[in-house]
Structure 1
Amino acid sequence: MSDEANRAAFQEIKGRMIENTGKMKQVQNQMRNKEGEKKRAYLTLEELRQLPDNTNTYKSIGRTFVLEPKSVLMNEQEQRLKDSESAIAALQASKEYLEKQKAEVESNLAELLQQDPGLAQQIMSMSVM
């Protein structure tokens, strides 16, 4: 390949790597948020379980509190827990897919550099500037 074609290929690989890294960070942040939601739902459920069954509880809606039976809050927290778990599973699948894409991009870069060892020197001289 010509130098221009190699540089264009390198720029494409670099762009894919940057895009992949950004998506990976986004997925990791989403997973962290869902883990927090899951933990809050679990802890709230644990506290609600300690209350007698006929206890009325207060549910926060914005700045207002509404009196609700314990069972309603338990059902809501159980649903939040399930939703968080399913979201985490989906995000984990996305993360694994992105990791495979990253490995493929790295493989493409290694192949490109193997085909044209001079390209590595050009890349290094460009990054020094």
Structure 2
Amino acid sequence: MADEASRTAFFEIQGHMIETTAKLKQVQNQIHSKELEKKRAYLTLEELRPLPDDTNTYKSIGRTFVLEPKSDLMNEQAQKFKDSENALSSLQTSKEYLEKQIGEVENNLKELLQQDPGLARQIMSLSVM
């Protein structure tokens, strides 16, 4: 009976680990995406700054380019930069939380395997099949 309970607990922990790892990977991908967006906005701002105010600038909308005042483009890029920074700080917090959860799940798994050494053998025999 305890053997079956240990086995069930193991599979629950394993499922939680898989779920948490998937969430962490998703957050890491979002962080990467926001970093690229932030960098693109920063570089665009750096290219626009030295231009005279009366320069014709164009905004890309899909495959079309629309004439935009330089100030509007700069404001838009600055807002994208700020939004990306805010999103990155939020995503970083989520990443740290998920990493902490993974550590806790790993500790729970180690504890379970130390409490029931026979469980490790059973799990290994299941994975060989």
Give me the TM-score of the superposition, normalised by structure 1: 0.96
- Note the alpha carbon deviations across 1:100-120, whole angstroms, 9 max, x for none: 100110111111111111111
Unaligned residue ranges in structure 1 (runs of 5+): none
The one-letter code matched in structure 1 to 2:74 is: M
Residue 56 of structure 1 is matched in structure 2 by: 56
Asked if 1:15 is matched to 2:19, the reply is no
Residue 65 of structure 2 is matched in structure 1 by: 65
What is the Cα deviation at residue 64 of structure 1?
Answer: 2.1
Residue 27 of structure 1 is matched in structure 2 by: 27
SS in structure 1 of the partner of residue 58 of structure 2: strand
Unaligned residue ranges in structure 2 (runs of 5+): none
The RMSD of aligned alpha carbons is: 1.0
Moved over 6 A (4+): none
- Note the alpha carbon deviations across 1:68-119, whole angstroms, 9 max, x for none: 1110000000000011111111110000000110011011111111111111
SS in structure 1 of the partner of residue 124 of structure 2: helix
Asked if 1:41 is matched to 2:41, the reply is yes
Residue 105 of structure 2 is matched in structure 1 by: 105
The one-letter code matched in structure 2 to 1:87 is: A
The one-letter code matched in structure 1 to 2:17 is: M
Return 92-101 or 47-56, whichever deviates more: 47-56
The one-letter code matched in structure 1 to 2:13 is: I
- Cα distance in 2 between the residues matched to 1:84 and 1:44: 14
Residue 120 of structure 2 is matched in structure 1 by: 120
- Cα distance in 1 between the residues matched to 2:99 and 2:107: 12
- Note the alpha carbon deviations across 1:10-60, whole angstroms, 9 max, x for none: 000000000011001100111111111011101100000120122231111
Return 37-46 or 56-65, whichever deviates more: 56-65
- Cα distance in 2 between the residues matched to 1:125 and 1:3: 15
Give me the TM-score of the superposition, normalised by structure 2: 0.96
Q: How many residue pairs were aligned?
A: 129
Asked if 1:92 is matched to 2:89, the reply is no
